[in-house]
Amino acid sequence: MDESPPLEQQQSQPHDLENEIVTEGSAFVHGELSSQDGCVPPKVDSQMEVLDENVSKQIIKEGHGSKPSKYSTCFLHYRAWTKHTQHKFEDTWQEQQPIELVLGKEKKEMTGLAIGVASMKSGERALLHIGWELGYGKDGNFSFPNVPPMADLLYEVEVIGFDETKEGKARSDMTVEERIGAADRRKMDGNNLFKEDKLEEAMQQYEMAIAYMGDDFMFQLYGKYQDMALAVKNPCHLNMAACLIKLKRYDEAIGHCNIVLTEEEKNPKALFRRGKAKAELGQMDSAREDFRKAQKYAPDDNAIRRELRAIAEQEKAVYQKQKEMYKGIFGGEMKVVARPRAVTG
């Protein structure tokens, strides 16, 4: 994808939102849900790898690249169960927010999880078997999460990616500028992967960038820092939507566009991509509404014209089919109430 100037500088010439990732505002796997509903641990047939006396791993999906070193900040999703009762006590996928884990500086009850994560590559998903000694110990935790004493644990984990940092600085210890800068670097890495059509890897970078811009962080910002953060965060959501549309995961794409439109209701890229996803789901009236709103803010965009024309042609085809059907039933011409709508622009 070509680097492009901000949209407001492009209004005087035709352009195309469809094949454009968002690169402006520099100062950033949505983790893929398991194929199951996540209520019970997944059944895994791969070979058991012993990592420690109390930690073993079975790979569900292979990753790529290198493994994190000590003091790397890892971003991951996981579900956790007590092994004996199979009671699920934690699920970051449900919360739609990846967590960070600094290897070597993790909480005591996450020691086993950290050993497992240290053996995993970016994009890898695995089932970890963890003995109680490296989990919640002999006392368990009856408050949150609800884990009985001496409970062995199971973790279904996916490593989204990691930052190599010698000092092991977590997001909470970073300055505002450091967090925005780290997120922006991830966004750039994602853009490069997107251009190479490595969509899953690109989404991992975008999601790590979004993790730096969490709700707790955004809530405390105002003025120029809020503008800087949004200029990184919103493009990542839009680029996630572009990836998800290519992967035919339309509902997820709509969700990312909605997040942007909550902050910027006139964002033409968000309106266009949401319309594109809705059209693929057959929600033509709603898609048309989004395309027309997008056209209002980007009147020279060729992709919007194409999508509106495609909807009009599809409606015309449906109209002709209805007309022929009624003609066959009643033996003559019959007016059909629904008429194809004209293309705007």
CA torsion through residues 274, 251, 283, 194, sign: positive
Q: What does the pLDDT look like over 147-160, one tens digit per residue?
A: 999 999 999 999 98
Q: Residues 155, 127: contact at Cβ < 8 Å?
A: yes
Top-confidence residue, 267 or 226: 267
Examine the pLDDT at 343 and tell me if it is beyond 60: no
pLDDT per residue over 231-266, tens digit each? 999 999 999 999 999 999 999 999 999 999 998 999
Query: pTM (2 decimals)?
Result: 0.63
What confidence tens digit (pLDDT) does each residue in 98-111 have? 788 889 889 999 99
Answer whether 161's CB lies under 8 Å from 185's CB. Answer: no
- CATH domain 7-28+174-304 topology: 1.25.40
Rg (CA), the chain: 24
- Rounded mean pLDDT, 209-236: 86
- Using the predicted structure, report yes or no on whether residue 3 has a pLDDT greater than 60: no
Three-class SS of the chain? CCCCCCHHHCCCCCECCCCCCCCCCCCCCCCCCCCCCCCCCCCCCCCCEEEECCEEEEEEECCECCCCCCCCEEEEEEEEEECCCCCEEEEHHHHCCCEEEECCCCCHHHHHHHHHHHCCCECCEEEEEECHHHCCCCCCECCCCCECCCCCEEEEEEEEEEECCCCCCCHHHCCHHHHHHHHHHHHHHHHHHHHCCCHHHHHHHHHHHHHHCCHHHHHCCCHHHHHHHHHHHHHHHHHHHHHHHHCCCHHHHHHHHHHHHHHCCCCHHHHHHHHHHHHHCCCHHHHHHHHHHHHHHCCCEHHHHHHHHHHHHHHHHHHHHHHHHHHHHHCCCCCCCCCCCCCCC
**pLDDT (mean) for 194-207:** 90
**pLDDT score for 192:** 92
What pLDDT is stored for residue 25 in this prediction?
36
155-67-247-19 Cα dihedral, nearest 10 degrees: 150
Q: For the segment 67-88, what is each residue's pLDDT rounded down to a tens digit?
A: 998 888 898 999 999 999 999 9
Q: Name the band, by pLDDT with cuts 50, 70 and 90, for residue 53.
A: very high
Better pLDDT: 96 or 212: 212
Average pLDDT (43-54) is: 94
User: Above 70 in pLDDT, residue 24?
Assistant: no
CATH of domain 49-163: 3.10.50.40
The contacts of residue 48 (CB under 8 Å, 6+ apart) are 56, 57, 58, 129
The structure tokens 């019970």 sit at 40
d(CA 198, CA 21): 14
| Residue range(s) occupied by CATH 3.10.50.40 in the chain | 49-163
Poorest-pLDDT segment among 59-63, 90-94, 310-314: 90-94
pLDDT band at 142 (very low <50, low <70, confident <90, very high): confident
- Give the mean pLDDT of the chain: 83
Choice between 187 and 336, residue whose per-residue pLDDT is larger: 187
Q: For residue 5, what pLDDT is reported?
A: 35
What span, in angstroms and rounded, lies between the C-alpha atoms of 23 and 93? 28
Q: Where are the CATH 1.25.40.10 domain residues in the chain?
A: 7-28+174-304
Whether the pLDDT of residue 12 is over 50: the answer is: no
Q: What pLDDT shows up at residue 155?
A: 97
CA count, 13 A, side-chain hemisphere, 178: 9
Question: Per-residue pLDDT averaged across 217-242, rounded?
Answer: 89
